[in-house]
Every structure is written in structure tokens, then in C-alpha cells.
């Protein structure tokens, strides 16, 4: 009797030890890696926002709030608001093109559905810079769009299609359209067609059915798609640089310049924090609406 309880306790303690060992072996390496190469860098960035920039770059460890007051300078605030606007506009346009596209893909017969989906994703798997470069070729002074318009006699001299805010939006929409279509497709595909039939049978017009059945039920997909497009658009600095003409027009360019040109790490970190704050608010909004849906 006693012997069996003793061995039972030792089995249990051995089980506990092996569970702790399992945790160490499986969770240890990956978490250590991510703590050192992701969390510590993030903590460094957030910490820097409190300090002052050194005269020759670097950081002087004197606590100050000046980085945050500088953030409210109209000059920087304008860039932040402007980035939200450009990214928001790009998101809206991808939604307006992406929703009907996803809707029709979901209605295609089996084999065509796969082909249509792969065709949407395919450009996304090609080099990002090459895709941006393609637009420089298309839109530049002697480019294809201008020469086509000239040939048709619609214009007398080449239009300046490159290097403005509209070009940035085109680049963003082009780059991230697949990220909008995929979650929308997933949401629309899951929709029970009988619900729409029921709505139609009860006398609702197609527009009414869309507004009160289809759209509300696919709203989580809409929000996910918008998030997928907005997040990489908002922090982008390559598209504004290559298609927008290289000025600090979006917050991404501003951040890059603070770290690589101005060497003002504390203020650069403060801009990173502002960018992260906007994204966290959006993530929380999305999580909240997903829970309500």
C-alpha cells in the first residue's frame, strides 16, 4: 500500500518535471529568440522617445518630453494626417474594386474559381520593387499611357502622371489589392446562399438584400481586408519615394529620414510610436467589431 503511494507521488513529480522540461525545450528557443531580436528592439525604440538626441547623432540619456511636443508641430502632424488620408483613400479604392471582384470569384464554377484566385494572388508573389518599377515605365513622360493618349489625339503634350499623390495611391492600390480580395472572398464564400434567396423570396430588392443581408454578414471580412491594406500602406516609404518623387510625404519616409539622414533616433522613435498607436487603435476596432458580428 505505502509502496504504491510513494511510487505514485514519484510518478507525479516526474511528470511535473517532464512537463517543465517540455516547456523549456519547446518554448525556450523560439521565445528567447523573439524576445532578444524583437521585443528588446521594440522596448529600445519606445524607451528612446523619452530622451534627447545627441549633438552628433546617438542618444543623450536625459529625460525630456520634447519629442512628443515636436510631434504636435503642424509640419509633422500634417504628414501623419496626410499619410492616414492617402492610406485611407487607397483602402477605400481597393475595397470598391475588390468587393465585386471577390463576389464574382465566389460565384464562379469550381475550376475557374481556383484560376481566378491564383490570378489575383500571382502578382503579389512577384518582387514588390519590380511591381512599382512597372508603373514608372507605364506612367513616365515617354511611357505607354502618355503615348497611347497622344496617339488617340486626346492630349497634345505628355501629362505629368508620375510623382504626385495620385501616383502614390495607384501604387498602393496596385500593391495591396490581393490582400483585400482574399479575406473578402473567404467571407463571401462562407455566406449561405439560402439567406439571399430567402431575402429575395420575401420581396426584398437586390440592393436591399445586399444592404441588409450580404454586407452585414461579410463585414468582418471587409474589416480584415481594410486592415490588411491600410497597415502596409500607412507605413510605406518605398512607394512614396519611387512614385511620389522622393519627398517626405508619408510618415514612413519621415521615419526613415530621421534614422538614416537626420540621425535623430529619439524623434524617429517617437514617430514610430505614433505609427504603432494608429495601428493599435485600428486593430482594437477590428477586434471589437469582429466580436460584435
> Could you say which residues in the range 198-257 bind other proteins, by CB under 8 A?
206, 231-232, 234-238, 241-242, 252, 255-256
Tell me which residues in 258-277 interact with other proteins (CB under 8 A).
259, 265, 268-269, 272, 275-276
Phi-psi region of 57 (alpha: psi -120 to 50; beta: other; left: phi over 0): left
Q: How far is the CB of 265 from other proteins (least distance, A)?
A: 7
Residue ranges in 181-200 that form contacts with other proteins under rule CB under 8 A: 181
Report the nearest approach of other proteins to the CB of residue 42 (Å): 5
Nearer to other proteins by Cβ, of 1 and 152: the residue is 152
Residue choice 7, 10, 13, 26 for contact with other proteins (CB under 8 A): 26
Kindly write out the interface string for residues 121-160 of this chain, putting x where it contacts other proteins by CB under 8 A and - elsewhere. Answer: xxx-xxxxxxxxxxxxxx-x-xxx--x-------------
Q: Which residues in the 30-69 window bind other proteins by CB under 8 A?
A: 30-31, 33-35, 37-42, 44-45, 48
* Cβ 234 to other proteins shortest distance, Å: 8
Query: For residues 97 and 217, which CB has a smaller minimum distance to other proteins in the complex?
Result: 97
* Number of residues located near other proteins, criterion CB under 8 A: 85
Nearer to other proteins, 74 or 163 (CB): 163
Query: Cβ closer to other proteins: 2 or 56?
Result: 56
The least CB distance from residue 283 to other proteins, in Å, is 8
Residue 284 in contact with other proteins, rule: CB under 8 A: no
Task: Please check whether residue 251 is in contact with residue 275, taking contact to mean a CB–CB distance below 8 angstroms.
Answer: yes
Q: What are phi and psi of 99, to 5 degrees?
A: -65, -55
CB of 72 to other proteins, least distance (A): 21
132-137 — which CB contacts under 8 Å span 24+ positions?
A: 132/171, 132/175, 132/238, 132/239, 132/242, 132/243, 133/242, 135/167, 135/170, 135/171, 135/174, 135/243, 136/162, 136/242, 136/243
In the complex, least distance from residue 176 CB atom to other proteins, rounded to whole angstroms: 11
Q: Which is nearer to other proteins, 199 or 269 (CB)?
A: 269
DSSP the chain: -HHHHHHHHHHHHHHHHHHHHHHHHHHHHHHHHHIIIIIHHHHHHHHHTTSEE-BTBSEE----SHHHHHHTSHHHHHHHHHHHHHHHHHHHHHHHHHHHHHHHHHHS-HHHHHHHHHHHHGGGGS-HHHHHHHHHHHHSTTSHHHHHHHHTTS-SS----SSSHHHHHHHHHHHHHHHHHHHHHHHHHHS-HHHHHHHHHTT--HHHHIIIIIHHHHHHHHHHHHHHHHHHHHT--HHHHHHH-SSS-SHHHHHHHHHHTS--HHHHHHHHHHHHHHHHHHHHHHHHHHHH-
Among 83, 91, 101, 218, binds other proteins (CB under 8 A): 101
Residues numbered 70-89 forming contacts with other proteins, rule: CB under 8 A: none
Q: How far is the CB of 196 from other proteins (least distance, A)?
A: 13
Q: Report the residue number, 225 or 268, with the smaller CB distance to other proteins.
A: 268
Find the part of the chain contacting other proteins (CB under 8 A) among 4-12, 29-37, 77-85, 188-196. Answer: 29-37
Amino acid at each position: 500500500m505505502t509502496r504504491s503511494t510513494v511510487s505514485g507521488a514519484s510518478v507525479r513529480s516526474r511528470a511535473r518535471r517532464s512537463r517543465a522540461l517540455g516547456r523549456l525545450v519547446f518554448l525556450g528557443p523560439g521565445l528567447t529568440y523573439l524576445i532578444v531580436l524583437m521585443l528588446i528592439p521594440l522596448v529600445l525604440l519606445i524607451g528612446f522617445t523619452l530622451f534627447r538626441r545627441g549633438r552628433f547623432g546617438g542618444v543623450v540619456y536625459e529625460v525630456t518630453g520634447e519629442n512628443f511636443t515636436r510631434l504636435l508641430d503642424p509640419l509633422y502632424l500634417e504628414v501623419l494626417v496626410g499619410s492616414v488620408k492617402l492610406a485611407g483613400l487607397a483602402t477605400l479604392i481597393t475595397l470598391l474594386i475588390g468587393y465585386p471582384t471577390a463576389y464574382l470569384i465566389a460565384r464562379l464554377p469550381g475550376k475557374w474559381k481556383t484560376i481566378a484566385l491564383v490570378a489575383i494572388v500571382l502578382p503579389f508573389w512577384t518582387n514588390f520593387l519590380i511591381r512599382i518599377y512597372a508603373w514608372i515605365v507605364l506612367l513616365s513622360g515617354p511611357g505607354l499611357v502618355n503615348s497611347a493618349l497622344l496617339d488617340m489625339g486626346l492630349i497634345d503634350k505628355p501629362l505629368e502622371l508620375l510623382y504626385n499623390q495620385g501616383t502614390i495611391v495607384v501604387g498602393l492600390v496596385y500593391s495591396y489589392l490581393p490582400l483585400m480580395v482574399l479575406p473578402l472572398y473567404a467571407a463571401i464564400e462562407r455566406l449561405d446562399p439560402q439567406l439571399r434567396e430567402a431575402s429575395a423570396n420575401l420581396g426584398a430588392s437586390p440592393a436591399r438584400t445586399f444592404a441588409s443581408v450580404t454586407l452585414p454578414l461579410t463585414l468582418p471580412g471587409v474589416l480584415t481586408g481594410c486592415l490588411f491594406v491600410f497597415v502596409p500602406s500607412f507605413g510605406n516609404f518605398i512607394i512614396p519615394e519611387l512614385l511620389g518623387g522622393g519627398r517626405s510625404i508619408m510618415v514612413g519616409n519621415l521615419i526613415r529620414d530621421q534614422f538614416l539622414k537626420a540621425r535623430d533616433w529619439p524623434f524617429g522613435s517617437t514617430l514610430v510610436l505614433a505609427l504603432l498607436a494608429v495601428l493599435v487603435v485600428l486593430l482594437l476596432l477590428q477586434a471589437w467589431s469582429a466580436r460584435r458580428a
